[in-house]
Amino acid sequence: MIEQNQLTFAPWIKRTPGQSPHTATVVFPHAGGAATAYRTLAAELARTGPDAYVVQYPQRADRLAHPAPETVEQLAAELFAAGDWAAVGPLRLFGHCMGAVIAFEFARVAEREGAAVDSLWVSASHAPGAVAESPRLPTAAVDVVADMVDLGGTDPRLLADEDFVELLVRAVRADYQAFNRYSCDPDVRIRADIHTLGGRSDHRINENMLLRWKTHTGGAFTSTLFDGGHFYLNDHIPAVARLVNER
Protein backbone atom coordinates (compact mmCIF):
# COMPACT_ATOMS: atom_id res chain seq x y z
CA MET A 1 0.00 0.00 0.00
CA ILE A 2 1.39 3.41 -0.93
CA GLU A 3 1.76 5.82 2.00
CA GLN A 4 -0.74 8.69 2.03
CA ASN A 5 2.01 11.32 1.81
CA GLN A 6 3.10 9.79 -1.49
CA LEU A 7 -0.37 10.22 -3.00
CA THR A 8 -1.86 13.23 -4.69
CA PHE A 9 -5.39 14.31 -3.74
CA ALA A 10 -7.11 17.65 -4.14
CA PRO A 11 -7.30 19.48 -0.78
CA TRP A 12 -11.10 19.34 -0.84
CA ILE A 13 -11.08 15.55 -0.70
CA LYS A 14 -11.37 14.88 3.03
CA ARG A 15 -9.52 11.81 4.33
CA THR A 16 -10.08 10.04 7.64
CA PRO A 17 -7.29 7.50 8.35
CA GLY A 18 -8.54 3.99 8.95
CA GLN A 19 -7.42 0.67 10.39
CA SER A 20 -6.99 -1.45 7.26
CA PRO A 21 -4.62 -1.01 4.30
CA HIS A 22 -6.57 -3.25 1.95
CA THR A 23 -9.04 -0.86 0.36
CA ALA A 24 -10.62 2.60 0.74
CA THR A 25 -14.18 3.87 1.10
CA VAL A 26 -15.20 6.98 -0.85
CA VAL A 27 -18.31 8.89 0.28
CA PHE A 28 -20.43 11.01 -2.07
CA PRO A 29 -22.78 13.53 -0.36
CA HIS A 30 -26.40 14.21 -1.25
CA ALA A 31 -27.46 17.16 -3.42
CA GLY A 32 -26.52 20.39 -1.70
CA GLY A 33 -24.57 18.47 0.93
CA ALA A 34 -21.06 19.44 2.02
CA ALA A 35 -18.32 17.01 3.01
CA THR A 36 -18.63 18.06 6.66
CA ALA A 37 -22.12 16.55 6.80
CA TYR A 38 -20.51 13.11 6.39
CA ARG A 39 -17.68 13.57 8.89
CA THR A 40 -19.36 11.30 11.45
CA LEU A 41 -20.01 8.56 8.89
CA ALA A 42 -16.41 8.77 7.64
CA ALA A 43 -15.09 8.51 11.20
CA GLU A 44 -17.24 5.46 11.91
CA LEU A 45 -16.25 3.79 8.64
CA ALA A 46 -12.56 4.40 9.38
CA ARG A 47 -12.81 3.33 13.03
CA THR A 48 -13.09 -0.35 12.12
CA GLY A 49 -12.28 -0.27 8.40
CA PRO A 50 -10.01 1.30 5.83
CA ASP A 51 -9.35 4.96 5.09
CA ALA A 52 -12.49 6.92 4.32
CA TYR A 53 -12.56 9.79 1.84
CA VAL A 54 -15.40 12.29 1.47
CA VAL A 55 -15.49 14.26 -1.77
CA GLN A 56 -16.55 17.90 -1.95
CA TYR A 57 -18.66 19.15 -4.85
CA PRO A 58 -18.27 22.66 -6.31
CA GLN A 59 -20.35 25.67 -5.21
CA ARG A 60 -20.02 25.04 -1.45
CA ALA A 61 -17.60 25.25 1.48
CA ASP A 62 -13.97 25.36 0.31
CA ARG A 63 -15.10 24.98 -3.32
CA LEU A 64 -17.50 27.91 -3.28
CA ALA A 65 -15.68 29.63 -6.17
CA HIS A 66 -15.36 26.48 -8.28
CA PRO A 67 -17.72 26.42 -11.29
CA ALA A 68 -20.48 23.84 -11.24
CA PRO A 69 -20.20 21.06 -13.85
CA GLU A 70 -23.13 20.98 -16.25
CA THR A 71 -23.65 17.23 -16.01
CA VAL A 72 -23.36 14.45 -13.45
CA GLU A 73 -20.94 12.67 -15.76
CA GLN A 74 -18.66 15.70 -15.87
CA LEU A 75 -18.76 16.01 -12.09
CA ALA A 76 -17.89 12.34 -11.64
CA ALA A 77 -14.99 12.62 -14.08
CA GLU A 78 -13.63 15.67 -12.23
CA LEU A 79 -13.87 13.87 -8.89
CA PHE A 80 -11.99 10.89 -10.29
CA ALA A 81 -9.28 13.12 -11.76
CA ALA A 82 -8.79 14.78 -8.36
CA GLY A 83 -7.15 11.80 -6.65
CA ASP A 84 -4.83 8.81 -7.02
CA TRP A 85 -7.75 6.44 -6.62
CA ALA A 86 -6.10 3.49 -8.36
CA ALA A 87 -3.36 3.53 -5.73
CA VAL A 88 -5.72 3.19 -2.76
CA GLY A 89 -8.14 0.68 -4.25
CA PRO A 90 -9.99 -1.52 -4.59
CA LEU A 91 -12.59 1.09 -3.78
CA ARG A 92 -15.89 0.91 -1.98
CA LEU A 93 -18.16 3.77 -3.01
CA PHE A 94 -20.97 5.09 -0.82
CA GLY A 95 -23.44 7.68 -2.08
CA HIS A 96 -26.55 9.11 -0.48
CA CYS A 97 -29.45 10.26 -2.69
CA MET A 98 -28.00 12.08 -5.73
CA GLY A 99 -24.57 11.11 -4.41
CA ALA A 100 -25.32 7.48 -5.32
CA VAL A 101 -25.81 8.38 -9.00
CA ILE A 102 -22.59 10.43 -8.94
CA ALA A 103 -20.85 7.44 -7.36
CA PHE A 104 -22.25 5.17 -10.09
CA GLU A 105 -20.81 7.44 -12.79
CA PHE A 106 -17.55 7.64 -10.82
CA ALA A 107 -17.45 3.82 -10.87
CA ARG A 108 -17.92 3.82 -14.65
CA VAL A 109 -14.98 6.21 -15.04
CA ALA A 110 -12.86 4.18 -12.61
CA GLU A 111 -13.54 0.93 -14.44
CA ARG A 112 -12.64 2.53 -17.78
CA GLU A 113 -9.41 3.92 -16.28
CA GLY A 114 -8.36 0.66 -14.66
CA ALA A 115 -9.07 1.60 -11.04
CA ALA A 116 -10.64 -1.29 -9.16
CA VAL A 117 -14.08 -0.77 -7.63
CA ASP A 118 -15.23 -3.54 -5.32
CA SER A 119 -18.72 -2.32 -4.48
CA LEU A 120 -21.17 0.55 -4.73
CA TRP A 121 -23.34 1.32 -1.70
CA VAL A 122 -26.50 3.12 -2.74
CA SER A 123 -28.42 5.05 -0.09
CA ALA A 124 -31.95 6.39 -0.73
CA SER A 125 -31.54 7.00 -4.45
CA HIS A 126 -33.27 6.61 -7.78
CA ALA A 127 -31.61 4.04 -10.02
CA PRO A 128 -29.70 5.67 -12.91
CA GLY A 129 -32.09 4.20 -15.47
CA ALA A 130 -35.06 5.73 -13.64
CA VAL A 131 -33.78 9.30 -13.25
CA ALA A 132 -34.96 10.60 -16.62
CA GLU A 133 -38.54 9.51 -15.90
CA SER A 134 -38.60 11.03 -12.41
CA PRO A 135 -40.06 14.52 -11.76
CA ARG A 136 -37.69 17.41 -12.52
CA LEU A 137 -36.11 18.92 -9.44
CA PRO A 138 -36.83 22.58 -8.59
CA THR A 139 -34.26 25.32 -9.16
CA ALA A 140 -36.11 28.50 -8.10
CA ALA A 141 -34.93 29.59 -4.64
CA VAL A 142 -38.29 29.36 -2.88
CA ASP A 143 -38.95 25.92 -4.37
CA VAL A 144 -35.47 24.66 -3.46
CA VAL A 145 -36.02 25.61 0.18
CA ALA A 146 -39.45 23.96 0.18
CA ASP A 147 -37.87 20.80 -1.24
CA MET A 148 -35.22 20.79 1.48
CA VAL A 149 -37.93 21.09 4.14
CA ASP A 150 -39.86 18.21 2.55
CA LEU A 151 -36.79 15.98 2.46
CA GLY A 152 -35.80 16.68 6.04
CA GLY A 153 -32.20 16.34 7.16
CA THR A 154 -31.60 20.10 7.49
CA ASP A 155 -31.81 21.76 10.89
CA PRO A 156 -34.89 24.07 10.78
CA ARG A 157 -32.94 26.67 12.75
CA LEU A 158 -30.45 26.91 9.88
CA LEU A 159 -33.27 27.46 7.41
CA ALA A 160 -34.15 30.61 9.35
CA ASP A 161 -30.66 32.02 8.64
CA GLU A 162 -30.74 34.04 5.41
CA ASP A 163 -27.01 33.71 4.77
CA PHE A 164 -27.13 29.94 5.22
CA VAL A 165 -30.16 29.62 2.94
CA GLU A 166 -28.43 31.65 0.23
CA LEU A 167 -25.43 29.31 0.26
CA LEU A 168 -27.64 26.22 0.48
CA VAL A 169 -29.74 27.28 -2.52
CA ARG A 170 -26.59 27.95 -4.52
CA ALA A 171 -25.24 24.45 -3.87
CA VAL A 172 -28.56 22.64 -4.31
CA ARG A 173 -29.37 24.48 -7.52
CA ALA A 174 -26.01 23.52 -9.05
CA ASP A 175 -26.57 19.86 -8.19
CA TYR A 176 -30.22 19.80 -9.25
CA GLN A 177 -29.47 21.38 -12.63
CA ALA A 178 -26.91 18.67 -13.38
CA PHE A 179 -29.27 15.95 -12.13
CA ASN A 180 -32.13 17.25 -14.30
CA ARG A 181 -29.92 16.77 -17.37
CA TYR A 182 -29.00 13.20 -16.46
CA SER A 183 -30.19 10.08 -18.25
CA CYS A 184 -28.91 6.52 -18.37
CA ASP A 185 -30.14 3.38 -20.09
CA PRO A 186 -31.43 0.73 -17.66
CA ASP A 187 -29.04 -1.85 -19.12
CA VAL A 188 -25.85 0.13 -18.41
CA ARG A 189 -23.88 -1.91 -15.88
CA ILE A 190 -20.81 -1.69 -13.72
CA ARG A 191 -18.82 -4.76 -12.75
CA ALA A 192 -18.86 -3.87 -9.06
CA ASP A 193 -21.43 -5.30 -6.66
CA ILE A 194 -24.30 -2.97 -5.75
CA HIS A 195 -25.84 -2.85 -2.28
CA THR A 196 -28.86 -0.61 -1.73
CA LEU A 197 -29.92 0.93 1.58
CA GLY A 198 -33.02 2.93 2.43
CA GLY A 199 -35.51 4.08 5.02
CA ARG A 200 -38.77 2.18 5.44
CA SER A 201 -40.68 5.46 5.79
CA ASP A 202 -38.90 7.35 3.00
CA HIS A 203 -41.66 9.10 1.04
CA ARG A 204 -39.31 9.83 -1.88
CA ILE A 205 -37.50 6.53 -2.49
CA ASN A 206 -39.31 3.29 -1.71
CA GLU A 207 -38.09 -0.30 -1.76
CA ASN A 208 -39.21 -0.95 -5.34
CA MET A 209 -37.20 2.06 -6.52
CA LEU A 210 -34.12 0.73 -4.77
CA LEU A 211 -34.58 -2.69 -6.35
CA ARG A 212 -34.29 -1.13 -9.81
CA TRP A 213 -30.57 -0.72 -9.14
CA LYS A 214 -30.20 -4.49 -9.68
CA THR A 215 -30.15 -4.02 -13.46
CA HIS A 216 -27.04 -1.83 -13.18
CA THR A 217 -24.60 -4.43 -11.79
CA GLY A 218 -22.87 -7.39 -13.33
CA GLY A 219 -22.04 -8.60 -9.82
CA ALA A 220 -23.92 -9.29 -6.61
CA PHE A 221 -26.90 -7.27 -5.42
CA THR A 222 -28.43 -6.82 -1.98
CA SER A 223 -31.03 -4.48 -0.48
CA THR A 224 -31.41 -3.51 3.18
CA LEU A 225 -33.98 -1.26 4.85
CA PHE A 226 -33.70 0.68 8.12
CA ASP A 227 -36.31 2.45 10.21
CA GLY A 228 -36.63 6.10 9.23
CA GLY A 229 -37.22 8.44 6.32
CA HIS A 230 -35.08 9.86 3.56
CA PHE A 231 -32.29 10.73 5.99
CA TYR A 232 -32.57 7.47 7.94
CA LEU A 233 -28.76 7.39 7.70
CA ASN A 234 -28.36 10.00 10.43
CA ASP A 235 -29.93 7.61 12.96
CA HIS A 236 -28.09 4.47 11.86
CA ILE A 237 -24.49 5.49 11.19
CA PRO A 238 -22.82 2.75 13.29
CA ALA A 239 -25.02 0.02 11.79
CA VAL A 240 -24.49 1.25 8.23
CA ALA A 241 -20.72 1.54 8.71
CA ARG A 242 -20.61 -1.95 10.19
CA LEU A 243 -22.54 -3.34 7.25
CA VAL A 244 -20.24 -1.68 4.71
CA ASN A 245 -17.09 -2.85 6.49
CA GLU A 246 -18.31 -6.41 7.01
CA ARG A 247 -18.99 -6.85 3.30
- pLDDT tens digit string along 4-33? 556 889 999 999 999 977 789 999 999 999
Q: What is the largest CA-CA distance in the chain?
A: 48
pLDDT for the residue numbered 71: 98
Coil/strand/helix, residue 199: strand
Q: Is 153 left (phi over 0), alpha (psi -120 to 50) or beta?
A: left
Predicted pLDDT at 153: 76
Can you tell me the distance from the alpha carbon of 168 to that of 31, in angstroms, rounded to the nearest whole number? 10
85-107 per-position pLDDT tens digit: 999 989 999 999 999 999 999 99
66 confidence band (pLDDT: 50, 70, 90)? very high
- Residue range 166-198, pLDDT digits in tens: 999 999 999 999 999 999 999 999 999 999 999
Q: Which domains does the chain have, with CATH numbers?
A: 4-246 (3.40.50.1820)
- Give the number of other CB atoms < 10 A from CB of residue 14: 20
d(CA 28, CA 52): 11
